[in-house]
Amino acid sequence: MSTNLRKSLIAGAVACAVVPAALVVGGSSATAAQPKYQPEMVSVLAQTLGVDEKAAVARLDRESDQQQKLTELTRAGLRTDGSFVDASGTLTVNTTDAGSAAKARSAGLAVRTPARGEAALNRVQAELDQAATRQVPAGIAAWSVDVAADVVKVEVADESRPQAKAFLADAARYGSAVQVVRTGQRLQAQATVYPGSKMTINGGSGYCSVGFGARNSSGAQYLVSAGHCIAGLPTLYYNNSPFAKGTSTRYKLGTQSVDMGVAQVTSGNSIAGQVGTWGAQGNIAVRGGTRAAVGSSICKSGATTGWTCGTIKAYNVTVTYVDRNGGPDTVVRGLGSSTVCTMGGDSGGAYISGNQAQGMTSGGPTNQQCTFNGGNQSGKSSYFQPLSDALSYYGLTLITG
């Protein structure tokens, strides 16, 4: 089946299927005893501390018990000036008078009298915050109160910048109350990006929609998208910050193509295992990627048209896309077709049927108009790249939620 269409760069689209208003689940009403702590957390803590899981649980119990004692003492009028847990797991309290120190010790807490204390350090940080308001301290990564070290810690990425020098000059006025740490590390916003969110191409005005997250055999995370969104292997931005870099695409303007591509997600960012719905309903958890049959209900969420729904019409569809910028036509094969309404900017976004991920928006009819968050809209159509084919081709495993 070949159809003459416009190529639809569809931003931020997230596909999501029709979800029943209620689900009835059978089974016993008895519930198994829940563990006190999440097993995953205990395992990671044990590895971090270099102890067995029994010792890790004991550490968590001790910290919880000490915090409860401190809470009770504070409610009873104990005067403190900050507290922290040291490397051994002991809760240490800054006290300002002998009576408070005695009460804390009697409850089994460690006590110290700091040179400065949390309240004084908070005032230093507030004044540094004001300095940053007057001039953004480019080259300074972060600053915060370190109660255990009894200082305000300033982390420097590039002290050669004039703004950084000015900020450090302000900080120097506080003497030993400020500790400068030269890390050389710049910071950027990190985010969990929901399928269907808007992503810009190379940070510019062009945009597509976020598809699904997946991992390779080594655990590296990738965004699975429409191939034309990854053409040129761009850097992809979410909320003005880069979160992924294109690594592979099977789409090339003017040649026989498959509209699938992937981008590696940069360190600190992640793709959620839930599809956003642009406020039409709550996020939809992705439980798997089983391909739905023709005729099944399916929805997509995209930056341009939000949450729109319909049914699957066919698979293995071949289309001819017209380039609206005057470029050559492109034949694309292996698509799914649907009655879901999409527009430019929805491309790459997620389609979902129930809780099963289906694919990423590829294209639709030229000049088609959709109602934002319009659900099912009569007489509309669109094409999507099946997710299962992309995962198989790139050897990836879908991230679920």
Largest CA distance in the chain: 85
3-state secondary structure of 287: coil
The Cα-based distances of 85 to 38, 90, 125 in angstroms read 21, 5, 21
Beta bridge partners of 193: 271
The residues, any chain, with a CB within 8 Å of residue 67's CB and separated by 6 or more, are: 91
Residue showing tokens 């470029």? 327
Number of neighbouring beta carbons within 10 Å of residue 357:
35
DSSP letter assigned to residue 202: T
Query: Which one of 197, 225, 257, 347 is the catalytic residue?
Result: 347
Give yes or no: 301 in active site: no
Give yes or no: 362 in active site: no
CA distance 229 to 225: 7
The Cα-based distances of 365 to 319, 322, 338 in angstroms read 11, 10, 12
The residues, any chain, with a CB within 8 Å of residue 66's CB and separated by 6 or more, are: 85, 90, 91, 108, 109
Residue showing tokens 């026989």? 256
Alpha helices in 184-295 (DSSP H): 227-230
CA 375 vs. chain centroid, Å, equals 26
Query: Which one of 150, 259, 346, 389 is the catalytic residue?
Result: 259
CA distance 215 to 124: 44
CA distance 392 to 373: 31
Residue 107 buriedness (CB in 10 A; 0-12 / 13-18 / 19+):
middle
Q: Under a CB-based contact definition with an 8 Å cutoff, are residues 268 and 258 in contact?
A: no
Residue type, 22: A
DSSP letter assigned to residue 353: E
Give yes or no: 259 in active site: yes
Query: Which one of 225, 228, 257, 381 is the catalytic residue?
Result: 228
Range list of β-strands (E), 219-295:
221-225, 235-238, 241-249, 261-265, 270-271, 274-275, 284-285
Phi, psi for residue 219 in degrees, rounded to 5: 95, -5
Q: So which residues are the catalytic ones?
A: 228, 259, 347
